[in-house]
Amino acid sequence: MKNLFVEEYLNIGVSRKLSAENQIVLTISSDFSGSNRKSQLYVNEKRLGEKLEYFWKSIKTKKLLALRIMFDEIDYYDNHTDMYSTPIVYIKRGLKKARFDEHEHGCIPKEWSVDFIATFSDTTTSTPILEVVKSALGSYLTPQREKKFLKILRPFLQKKEKNVYYELDFPYKD
C-alpha cells in the first residue's frame, strides 16, 4: 500500500464509528502518488483490488473487519461539467475477493488524494491498529514516528479521547 501514498502529506486518524460504538475506524490519507496535476484519475481497479486482497491476507489480527481504498479531490471547484467516476475498492470479513463501487466527480481537481480506511472491532490494545499501519506505510513509519503515534493513540484506546489525528512530520523532527 505504501506506493499509493506521498510521504510529505501523510495523515493518520483514528475514531470510533458513530453508528456502532464497538467499532474503530483508522484512516490513512495522503496525496495520491499516481496523481497527475489537473487531470482525470485513471486507476486500474483490478490491480488495486488484487493489491487490497493481498494486503488483507497478510494481516493476522482477527480484530480487522473491513478495508477500503478510495480517491478524492484536492483543491477543486465542482461545477458538474466533467462527470466521471473513480473506483472504491473494499473487502470485509466473509468476502474472499475485493468488491468495487464508484465515487462520482463533477470536475477535474488540481490534485488527487487517496484514503485507506480500516475498520476494527473495539480493542484496548494498540497491536491490531499498529499492525495495519505498519503494513500499509512500511518504511514511512520510522521508529520515532511509531513511538509518537502510539503516544497519541494511548488516550484514545483508554476511551479518554473520541478521536485522534497524527500528521507525519517530514522530515521527522524531535
pLDDT in tens, 85-112: 778 899 999 888 999 988 777 677 678 8
Query: Kind and range of the H or E element at 100?
Result: strand 99-105
C-beta of residue 68 within 8 angstroms of C-beta of residue 28: no
Sequence spans of domains, the chain: 2-167
Determine which of 25-34, 38-47, 48-57 has the lowest per-residue pLDDT on average: 38-47
Q: Which residues pair with 101 in a beta bridge?
A: 88
Report the pLDDT value the prediction gives residue 174, as an integer from 0 to 100: 43
Structure pTM? Answer: 0.86
Distance CA 63, CA 122 (A): 8
Cell of 127: 497491536
9 Cβ contact partners less than 8 Å away, ≥ 6 residues apart: 30, 31
Taking 50 as the threshold, does the pLDDT of residue 29 lie above it?
yes
Q: Which residues pair with 115 in a beta bridge?
A: 29, 70
